[in-house]
Structure 1
Amino acid sequence: MDQTSRHAAANAVAWGSDRIADLLRSLNTPYLALTPGSSFRGLHDSLINHLGNERPEHILAIHEESAVAIAHGYAKVTGKPLAVALHANLGLMHASMAIFNAWCDRAPMLIFGAVGPMDAALRRPYVDWLHTATDLAALIRPYIKWDNQPASIPAAVEAIIRAQQISRTAPQGPVYICLDQTLQEAETPTRDPLPNMRRFEAPRSPAPDRASITEIAQRLSSAKRPLALIGRVSAKRPAWDRRVAFAEAYGLHVLTDLKVGAKFPTRHPLHAASPGLSPSADALALIRNADLILSLDWIDLGGTLYQAFGKPWPEVTVVQCSLDQYSHNGWSMDHQALPAADISLLTDPDRLTELLLAEAEACGISAAPPAGASWAAARPARSAGEIGIEDLARVVIATLVEDRPSYLRLPIGWPGALCDFDDPLDYIGYDGAGGIGSGPGMSVGSALGLRGTDRLPVAVLGDGDFLMGATAIWSAVHHRIPLLVIVANNRSFFNDELHQERMAKMRGRPVENRGVGIQIDDPAPDLAMIARGQGCVAFGPVSDIADLSDTLRNAVKHVREGRVAFIDAHVRREYGRGIPAQVLRTTDQ
Structure 2
Amino acid sequence: MTRRASEQLPVPENGDGAIERPVRTGGNAAGFGSDAVAETLRALDIPYIAVNPGASYRGLHDSLVNHLGNEQPQMLLCLHEETAVAIAHGWAKVTGRAMAAAVHSNVGLFHATMAIFNAWCDRMPVLVIGATGPVDAMKRRPWIDWIHTARDQGAVVRHYTKWDDQPASAGAACESLVRANWIANTVPQGPTYVVLDAEMQEAKLAAPIAIPDVARLSPPIASGITAGALDEAMQLLKAAKSPVILAGRASRRIDAWSARVGLAEQLNARVLTDIKVGASFPTDHPLHAGDPVMLVPGGEAANAIANADLILSLDWVDLAGALRSAGAKPSAKVIQISADQQIHNGWSMDYQALAPVDLFVGCDPDEAVIALARASNASPAARVQPRALAVMPSEGTALSVEHLAMGLRRALGERAVSLTHLPLSWNGGWWPLRHPLDFLGSDGGGGIGGGPGISVGAALALKGSGRMPVAICGDGDFLMGNTAVWTAVHYRIPLLFVIANNRSFFNDELHQERVARMRDRPVENRWIGQRMADPEIDIATMARSQGAEGYGPVRTVAEMDKAYADAIAVVEAGGVAVIDVRVEPGYAAATTNVMLRKGAE
**Which bracket does the TM-score occupy, shorter chain normalised?**
over 0.9
Aligned to 2:580, what secondary structure does the other structure show? strand
Aligned to 1:484, what secondary structure does the other structure show? strand
Q: Distance in 2 between matches of 1:370 and 1:453?
A: 23
CA RMSD of aligned residues (A): 2.4
Map 1:509-588 onto structure 2 (within 5 A). 509-579=521-591, 581-583=593-595
**In the alignment, structure 1 residue 80 sits paired with structure 2 residue 97:** yes
Q: Distance in 1 between matches of 2:55 and 2:220?
A: 36
Map 1:141-156 onto structure 2 (within 5 A). 141-156=158-173
Aligned to 2:341, what secondary structure does the other structure show? helix
Map 1:116-135 onto structure 2 (within 5 A). 116-135=133-152
Aligned to 2:184, what secondary structure does the other structure show? helix
Q: Distance in 2 between matches of 1:318 and 1:370?
A: 29
Q: CA deviation at 1:563?
A: 0.9
**In the alignment, structure 1 residue 333 sits paired with structure 2 residue 345:** no
Q: Distance in 2 between matches of 1:180 and 1:166?
A: 21
Q: Residue 167 of structure 1 corresponds to which residue in structure 2?
A: 184
Q: Distance in 2 between matches of 1:278 and 1:183?
A: 49
Say if 1:240 and 1:424, in contact at 8 Å, map to a contact too.
yes
**In the alignment, structure 1 residue 472 sits paired with structure 2 residue 484:** yes
Say if 1:294 and 1:318, in contact at 8 Å, map to a contact too.
yes
Q: Distance in 2 between matches of 1:370 and 1:156?
A: 50
**In the alignment, structure 1 residue 321 sits paired with structure 2 residue 337:** yes
TM-score (norm 1): 0.94
Q: CA deviation at 1:212?
A: 2.0
How many matched pairs? 577
Q: CA deviation at 1:356?
A: 1.3
Q: Residue 19 of structure 2 corresponds to which residue in structure 1?
A: none
| Alignment deviations for residues 510-558 of structure 1 (CA, whole Å, 9 cap, x no partner) | 1110100011111111111111111110000000122212210110111
Q: Residue 298 of structure 1 corresponds to which residue in structure 2?
A: 316
Structure-2 change in CA distance of 1:554 and 1:280 (3 Å): farther
Q: Residue 346 of structure 1 corresponds to which residue in structure 2?
A: 362
| Alignment deviations for residues 375-433 of structure 1 (CA, whole Å, 9 cap, x no partner) | 98975333575211111111111211322111100111111111211111111110111
Q: Percent identity?
A: 50
| Alignment deviations for residues 434-471 of structure 1 (CA, whole Å, 9 cap, x no partner) | 00011111111111111111111100000000111111
Q: Residue 234 of structure 1 corresponds to which residue in structure 2?
A: 251
| Alignment deviations for residues 264-317 of structure 1 (CA, whole Å, 9 cap, x no partner) | 11111111210032225221111111110000000011111111128xx94321
Say if 2:297 and 2:326, in contact at 8 Å, map to a contact too.
no
Say if 1:170 and 1:205, in contact at 8 Å, map to a contact too.
no
Q: Residue type of the partner of 2:500?
A: A
**In the alignment, structure 1 residue 425 sits paired with structure 2 residue 437:** yes
Q: Distance in 1 between matches of 2:453 and 2:137?
A: 36
Q: Distance in 2 between matches of 1:314 and 1:236?
A: 34
TM-score (norm 2): 0.92
Structure-2 change in CA distance of 1:231 and 1:188 (3 Å): same
**In the alignment, structure 1 residue 409 sits paired with structure 2 residue 417:** no
Match 2:78 to one of 61, 81, 87: 61
Say if 1:278 and 1:583, in contact at 8 Å, map to a contact too.
no
Q: Residue 4 of structure 2 corresponds to which residue in structure 1?
A: none
Say if 1:559 and 1:565, in contact at 8 Å, map to a contact too.
yes
Q: Distance in 2 between matches of 1:434 and 1:385?
A: 31
Match 2:223 to one of 189, 206, 223: 206
Pick which of 482-491 and 271-280 moved more.
Answer: 271-280
Say if 1:386 and 1:544, in contact at 8 Å, map to a contact too.
yes
Say if 1:434 and 1:587, in contact at 8 Å, map to a contact too.
no
Map 1:252-331 onto structure 2 (within 5 A). 252-282=269-299, 283-309=301-327, 314-331=330-347
Q: Residue type of the partner of 1:288?
A: A
Structure-2 change in CA distance of 1:510 and 1:285 (3 Å): same
Structure-2 change in CA distance of 1:202 and 1:571 (3 Å): farther
**In the alignment, structure 1 residue 49 sits paired with structure 2 residue 66:** yes
Structure-2 change in CA distance of 1:549 and 1:587 (3 Å): farther
Match 1:487 to one of 475, 499, 524: 499
Pick which of 393-402 and 171-180 moved more.
Answer: 393-402
Q: CA deviation at 1:203?
A: 3.6
Structure-2 change in CA distance of 1:580 and 1:226 (3 Å): farther
Q: Residue type of the partner of 2:472?
A: V
Q: Residue 434 of structure 1 corresponds to which residue in structure 2?
A: 446
Structure-2 change in CA distance of 1:533 and 1:291 (3 Å): same
Q: Distance in 1 between matches of 2:357 and 2:30?
A: 60
Q: CA deviation at 1:242?
A: 1.6
Say if 1:384 and 1:545, in contact at 8 Å, map to a contact too.
no
Q: Residue type of the partner of 2:360?
A: S
Aligned to 1:246, what secondary structure does the other structure show? helix
Pick which of 186-195 and 107-116 moved more.
Answer: 186-195
Q: Residue 400 of structure 1 corresponds to which residue in structure 2?
A: 412
Structure holding more helix per residue: 1
Q: Residue 250 of structure 1 corresponds to which residue in structure 2?
A: 267
Structure-2 change in CA distance of 1:186 and 1:223 (3 Å): same
Where structure 1 has 5 or more consecutive residues not aligned to the other structure, the ranges are none
Large movers: runs of 4+ above 6 Å: 369-373, 375-378, 585-588
Say if 1:458 and 1:484, in contact at 8 Å, map to a contact too.
yes
Aligned to 1:7, what secondary structure does the other structure show? coil
Say if 1:302 and 1:339, in contact at 8 Å, map to a contact too.
yes
Structure-2 change in CA distance of 1:383 and 1:500 (3 Å): closer
Structure-2 change in CA distance of 1:503 and 1:161 (3 Å): same
Aligned to 2:75, what secondary structure does the other structure show? strand
Q: Distance in 2 between matches of 1:13 and 1:174?
A: 28
Q: Distance in 2 between matches of 1:429 and 1:133?
A: 35
Q: Distance in 2 between matches of 1:580 and 1:351?
A: 36
Aligned to 2:141, what secondary structure does the other structure show? coil
Q: Residue type of the partner of 2:104?
A: H
**In the alignment, structure 1 residue 180 sits paired with structure 2 residue 197:** yes
Aligned to 2:287, what secondary structure does the other structure show? coil
Say if 1:376 and 1:418, in contact at 8 Å, map to a contact too.
no
Aligned to 2:452, what secondary structure does the other structure show? helix
Structure-2 change in CA distance of 1:584 and 1:486 (3 Å): farther
Say if 1:168 and 1:202, in contact at 8 Å, map to a contact too.
no
Q: Distance in 2 between matches of 1:376 and 1:281?
A: 24
